[in-house]
Amino acid sequence: MSLTVVANRVPIRKTDDGWKTSVGGLTTALLPVLEEQGGVWVGMGEDPDLPECQQYPEDDPDFLVRRVPLSDEELDNYYYGMANRVLWPVSHYLIQHLELRERFIDTYRSVNERFAKAVLDESPDDPDEIIWIQDYHLMLAPRHIRDARPDAVIGHFWHIPWPAMEVFRILPWSRELLRGMLGCDLIGFHVDEYVDNFIESAEVLLGADVTENTVTLDGHTTRVEAHPIGIEVDRFKKMAATEEVKEKADKLRNRLGTDNIVIGIDRLDYTKGILSRLTAFEQFLEENPDYHGKVSFYQIATPSRTKVESYQQLKREVDEAVGRINGQFARDNWVPVNYRYRTYTQFELCAFYRAADAALITPLRDGMNVVTQEFITATQNGALILSELTGAAYLLPEAIQVNPYDQGGLADAIKVALEMPDEERRSRLKGLKSTVEKLDVHKWAQHFLDSFDR
Ligand code: ADQ
C-alpha cells in the first residue's frame, strides 16, 4: 500500500535548519505511515518559499509534499469564506455566524478541483494506492478524483460534527456537497451520531439507498463509519511526567496562590463556549463567596482565524468579560480570572493540565475535542467538566457532563468538581484514562486504513 494524504495544510514548515515537520494531531498520526510506506501529501502550503514539489526529508526522502498554491483572493473565499464562514458554523449549529456568498462556493469549487488535479498528477494509478482526504475544506475533491479514476480507493475523514439533516439542508449547495463526498469508498466521523446524520442527509436530500453504514448513489457504494480520533498518549504521558513539567506546574500553583485552579484551554473560537464558561464562573463566584480568594480560573486561548469578523468580535467580548469579572471580584493579591491570548508549547500545556484541580471544557459543539484527552492523560487527580455537545462526551461517561447553554448548571458543576471526594475523583479518572488509552491517534490512523480491506 502507498498513501496520498490530501489536507488543507501541508505538514512541513521552514526553519533555520531547513524544512521540518510541524506539530499537530493529524501530522503526528499520518507521518509515520508516510515515512514507512512512502507517498504524497497534497496541501495548500501558505509559505511562498515552498516549491510546488518538495521531497521530505530533503537528504533522504520518504515522501513528496505537493503544494497547491492559492492566491490571496482564493484563500479568502475558499478558506476564510466557504470553510470558515459557511461549513464551520453550519456544522456546529451556530447559524447566526453563517455568511452565504456565491463567490465562496465558486472558489471552493475551483480550489477543490485543483486539489483533485494535484492528486491525480502525483498519486500512482495503482489498486494498492489509498487516497485519504481530510476535513470540511475538501468536500468536492473526492467526486473529481472518482470521475477521473473510477477504480481509485478514496477515503475521507471529517473532523467536525456532521449536523442534523434539517440543519445541513439550509445550505443552498447541500446536494452538490454531499454528492462530492459520495465519491469516496469510506467516510469516517468521530461518533455514530454524525454517521447517522450524514446517512440521513444522503437519503433525504439525494434519495440515495442507505443501510445502517452504507450509502449507495448511482451504483457506487460508500461506507460511513465512526472512527474516534485520539492523541499520542505515550508521548503526552511521558511529557507530563518530566521534571520540567512538574516544576512548571508547581511554579504556576505558587504564583496563583489559591487552593483551587480551574483551567480552560482552546483556540479562540465561538464554538468552544469560552464566553458562557466565563459567565458561569462569574455566577459561581456570586453564589459562593466562600471561594473568593480560594479559586483561580486560568483561561488560555490561542489566536485563531483572526481575519474573520466574528472571531475579532469574540475576542473583544472575552476581553470585556474577563475585565468585568476581575473588576468586580479581584481583591488584595487575588485575581479570579487569569487570561492569556497566545499559543503555548505542548510542554507548557502539560504543566497547566497538571496544575489544575479541574478542567472546564464546555464547547457549544465540538467534533471530538482533543484537549479533553490531553487533560485526562496529563492530570494526576483533576476533575473533568465536559460539555455533552462534544464528540468526546459520547465516549467519556465518567466526566461531569454539562449542557454548555445552561449557565446555572455550569456554575453548579464547578462546585461539584472542586468538592468531589478524592475517592470518586480517582475512580472517575481511572475510567477516563482507560478510554483515552484506547483512542490513541496512531491506532486511529491504522484502523481507518485497515478498514479499506474489509
Ligand atoms: P480543533 O477545533 O482545533 O480541532 P481540539 O480538538 O480541541 O480542537 O484541538 C485543539 C488543539 O490545539 C489541541 O491539541 C490543543 O492542545 C491545542 N491548543 C489549544 N489551545 C492552545 C494554546 N493556547 N496553545 C497551544 N496549543 C493549543 C478539530 C475539531 C475537533 C477535533 C479535532 C481533531 O474541531 O473537534 O477534536 O479537529 O479531529
DSSP secondary structure letters along 133-202: EESTT-SSHHHHHHHH-TT-EEEEE--SPPPPHHHHTTSTTHHHHHHHHTT-SEEEESSHHHHHHHHHHH
Ligand 1 midpoint to CA 151 (Å): 35
Q: E strand or H helix at 188, and its extent?
A: strand 186-189
Specify the pLDDT at position 337.
98
Q: Is 302 in the pocket of ligand 1 (CB under 6 A)?
A: yes
SS3 content of the chain, % helix, strand, coil (to 5): 50, 20, 30
Question: 355 C-alpha vs ligand 1 centroid, how far in Å?
Answer: 20
pLDDT at 201: 98
Do 302 and 343 touch, CB atoms closer than 8 A? Answer: yes
Ligand 1 near 364 CB (within 6 A): no
Q: Judge if 2-230+442-453 and 233-438 fold alike in CATH terms.
A: yes
Q: Is the CB of residue 215 below 6 angstroms from any atom belonging to ligand 1? A: no
Best mutation site among 272, 371, 376 for ligand 1 pocket (most ligand atoms within 8 Å of CB): 371
- pLDDT at residue 46, rounded to an integer: 84
Substitution site in 368, 373, 374, 441 for ligand 1 pocket (most atoms within 8 Å of beta carbon): 368
206 Cα: distance to centroid of ligand 1 (angstroms) = 33
For residue 370 and ligand 1, the question of a CB distance below 6 A is answered with yes
The angle at the Cα of 387, spanning 81 to 401, to the nearest 5 degrees, equals 170
Q: Write the ipTM.
A: 0.98
Work out the widest C-alpha separation in the chain, in whole angstroms: 71
- Omega cis (within 30) before 57: yes
Task: Provide the pLDDT for residue 24.
Answer: 77
Ligand 1 atom with the shortest distance to the CA of 371: 7
Q: What is the pLDDT of residue 1?
A: 82
Is the C-beta atom of 367 inside 6 A of ligand 1?
A: yes
What pLDDT shows up at residue 453?
85
Which ligand 1 atom is at minimum distance from the Cα of 392? 36
Separation CA 452–CA 223 (nearest Å)? 9
231 touches ligand 1 (CB under 6 Å): no
Q: Is residue 221 within 8 Å of residue 210, measured between CB atoms?
A: no
CA separation for the pair 104, 81 (Å, rounded): 5
Tell me which amino acid residue 302 is. T
> For domain 233-438, is the CATH number 3.40.640.10?
no
For the Cβ of 300 lying below 6 angstroms from any atom of ligand 1, the answer is yes
* 359 CB within 6 A, ligand 1: no
Ligand 1 lined by 265 (C-beta under 6 Å): yes
**Structural domain boundaries of the chain?**
2-230+442-453, 233-438
Instruction: Specify the ligand 1 atom closest to the Cα of 391.
Output: 35
Nearest residue (CA) to ligand 1, atom 18: 266
Q: What is the pLDDT of residue 29?
A: 85
| CA 150 to centroid of ligand 1, rounded, Å | 35
Residues of the chain with pLDDT under 70: none
131 with 6: CB under 8 angstroms? Answer: yes
Closest CA to 190 of 446, 452, 439, 16: 439
Ligand 1 centroid to residue 266 C-alpha, Å: 6
Please give the number of the atom of ligand 1 that sits closest to the Cα of 157: 38
| Protein residue with least CA distance to atom 7, ligand 1 | 369
Our answer on whether the CB atom of 343 is closer than 6 Å to any ligand 1 atom is: yes
pLDDT score, position 32: 85
Residue 25 Cβ inside 6 Å of ligand 1? The answer reads: yes
Give the atom of ligand 1 at the shortest distance from the alpha carbon of 302: 23
Output the pLDDT for position 26.
Answer: 85
Sign of CA dihedral 22, 25, 30, 33: positive
Q: What is the pLDDT of residue 127?
A: 87
**CA 62 vs CA 14, 35, 56, 250: distances in Å:** 18, 5, 6, 42
C-alpha Rg value of the chain to the nearest Å:
23
Contact 29, 445 (CB under 8 A): yes
pTM, rounded to two decimals: 0.97
2-230+442-453: which CATH number, 3.40.1280.10, 3.40.50.2000, 2.40.40.20, 3.10.129.10?
3.40.50.2000
Specify whether the CB–CB gap between 191 and 156 falls below 8 A: no
